[in-house]
Amino acid sequence: MLAIPAYNKFVTDWNWSNYSAELKSRGRSKLSEEDLRLIEKAFKYAAGAHNGQKRFSGEPFLNHVVAVSLNTADLKLDAKTVSAALLHDTVEDSAATFREIKKLFGDEIYFLVRGVTKVNKLKYRGAERAAESMRRMFLAVAQDIRVVVLKLVDRRHNMKTLWALPDPEKRLRIATETLDIYAPLADRLGMGELKGELEDSAFGYVHPHEYEWMKNEIQERMPERERYIQKIMPLVKKEMHAEKIKLSDISARAKHVYSAWRKLLRNDMNWDRILDLVALRLTVENIESCYAALGVIHKLWRPVPGRIKDYIALPKFNGYQSLHTTVFCLEGQPTEFQIRTREMHKEAEYGIAAHWFWEGAGKPKIGAKFVGRKFEWVRQLQEWQKEKKKEKSSSKDFLESLKIDFFKNRIFVLTPKGDVIDLPDGATPIDFAYHIHSEIGNRAAGAKVNSRLVSFDYKLASGDIVEIMTQKNRKPSPEWLNLTRTSLAKSQIRKELRTNLAVTETKPKETEFEIKVRDRIGILKDVSAVFSDFRINIRTITSLASSSLYPAINVKFEPKNREQIEKIKTRLKKIGGVESIAEKN
Ligand code: MN
């Protein structure tokens, strides 16, 4: 099985000579002198920057960046990415600065290291409904597929030593993030093996009991299953030989623990339904041989109805291609077979990274289509790469195509709780506020971005954490219409402005009280004091001697509302000498 080679050696004395030897042993002997000089410079810089630093596991810190860079080399990434992998933690964890990285290593490596550092600032807090947005934001912030791949192998290595992290809450957060964000991203980039590894490494932290149970169940079932597979293999080989189908490889593939558990959950925990706990994988020369081999298997053993899947004609969303079938095999036991070409196999293991070395080898890639709106961005990405291939672009242009620019018109920002809000480019804190809730927008009094106060015309950027401060009696200002990019915010502002206007129009107009009093010194002053207590300006106040029994004081004023009128009346009645209050309009 062609997996990404794991790096497990506990070497404590990495130096340029053993590192460069390791690099070459991983199929990178074709690196040019110039490439090697660049990587050497990065290696020595990283060794200096991380000198004396240790990981929680007790290893020298340098081991981590060496492991990540060797993994990027395994994935056939370019020398700049291998160098960026060596440098990826220098700015965050040592005295190095971006300015220095840019000066010493140039714009592209600076761009990659900065991308990794920016992604590191995103914290997923396990709100599952936000996972999809979070994955999109991850991509928008990374800006380049190489940064995404770098982060995936970085996380893969960090998961191996997660046990050493002393804070259990942090362990759980990182494992949950791996399960909800990183593994699905690896899946979408078609990196099936990496996805399975990430899931299995996080499973035990996120669901410890289920993980223990699964491990025991599999350990019990596996030996018998493996003996069984060993019996089938020679039969398949013999039959393929007889039918003149050239087998490049035949191997047994154990299902990953986490995906087996998910499958059990979907199937009422019925183990009999997990037919692919161990599957047989046949690799053949070309697509014709795939279908011919399927025919041979079906001739040997009867297929289980509904279990034949042609992912060659209908690839999975992430480009995965293969023929799958389950047959009633020896002793009537259902057994899964996967049949594919070598190219399909590499594609399934390396995913998007497979494009780098195919490009290098100048071979055409088998066309795969991404379907479904949910995976629109994957489809766009692939379309883009196909376009680039048609143009027969130089390798420099090809690297350009790794830019994630289908998000160029969108930004992804976070609430303080970690929820992701997706906004158009140029959006301001007011757009953000209205996207949280119309009341937050209407009452917005101020905004903070990454804990710093900003003005309402501030242009938000992907990865920003935005906080809106509200005040009870705040109202939107008409000027906000010019500060917003989203139609949602604009329509809410207009609606609120109209409501406020309507309130003004319906409030009672000028009211007049005719207060009959028994005339005494100071009564006029007492009456006007009531109005000033309510902060009401009296329009006119006239004191008329009337022909009736009592003289009248006429007060014209503008009340705020009906309630206020009643309150004023009550107060006035308490004044000694006030006999009656009549309201005139
Ligand atoms: Mn790292």
Side chain identity at 197, as an amino acid letter? E
Instruction: Look at residues 190, 404, 196 and name the one whose alpha carbon lies nearest to residue 318.
Output: 190
How far apart are the C-alpha atoms of 47 and 90, rounded to whole Å? 10
Of the candidates 529, 531, 581, 573, the residue with the CA atom closest to the CA atom of residue 553: 581
Query: Cα separation of 354 and 334, whole Å?
Result: 32
Asked whether residue 460 carries a pLDDT value surpassing 60, the answer given is yes
Tally Cβ neighbours within 10 Å of residue 118.
17
Q: For residue range 89-144, list pLDDT tens digits in order.
A: 999 888 888 999 999 999 999 999 999 988 888 777 666 557 777 777 787 778 78
Please name every residue paired with 424 in a beta bridge, in sequence order, or none if there are none: 410
Concerning whether 496 is annotated as a catalytic residue, the answer is no
Spacing, Cα 210 to ligand 1 middle (Å):
29
Has this prediction a pTM greater than 0.95? no
How confident is the model over 499-527, as a mean pLDDT? Answer: 77
- Between CA 126 and CA 579 the distance in angstroms is 69
Question: In this predicted structure, what is the pLDDT of residue 433?
Answer: 95
Average pLDDT in the 39-44 region? 96
Structure tokens at 258: 């986490």
Averaged pLDDT, 263-290 = 84
Q: 32-39: long-range contacts at Cβ-Cβ below 8 A with a sequence spacing of 24 or more?
A: 32/79, 35/79, 36/79, 38/79, 38/80, 38/83, 38/105, 39/79, 39/82, 39/83, 39/86
Give the 3-state secondary structure of 356-400: HHHHHHCCCCCCCCCCCHHHHHHHHHHHHHHHHHHCCCCHHHHHH
CA of 46 to the centre of ligand 1 (A): 12
CB-count burial class (<10 Å; 0-12, 13-18, 19+) for 288: exposed
CB 230 within 8 A of CB 330: no
Q: From ligand 1's centre to the CA of 68, what distance in Å?
A: 8
Predicted confidence at residue 370, as pLDDT, reads 30
More confident residue, 462 or 396: 462
Joined tokens for residue 372: 């479904």
Of 35, 93, 310, 425, which residue is the catalytic one? 93
Cβ atoms 280, 229 nearer than 8 A: yes
Residue 407: its pLDDT value, please?
Answer: 61
Q: How far is the CA of 401 from the centre of ligand 1 (A)?
A: 25
Asked if 397 is an active-site residue, the reply is no
| Residue where the block lists tokens 């009696």 | 473
Q: Per-residue pLDDT for 276 more than 80?
A: no
Average pLDDT value for the chain: 82
Distance 64 CA to ligand 1 centre (A): 7
Percentage above 70 pLDDT, the chain: 83
Q: Which residues, 6+ apart, have CB-to-CB distance to 247 below 8 Å?
A: 237, 240, 241, 282, 283, 284, 293
Residue 416, pLDDT above cutoff 80: yes
Q: Do 325 and 337 touch, CB atoms closer than 8 A? A: yes
Query: Cα angle vertex 369, ends 366, 370, to 5°?
Result: 140
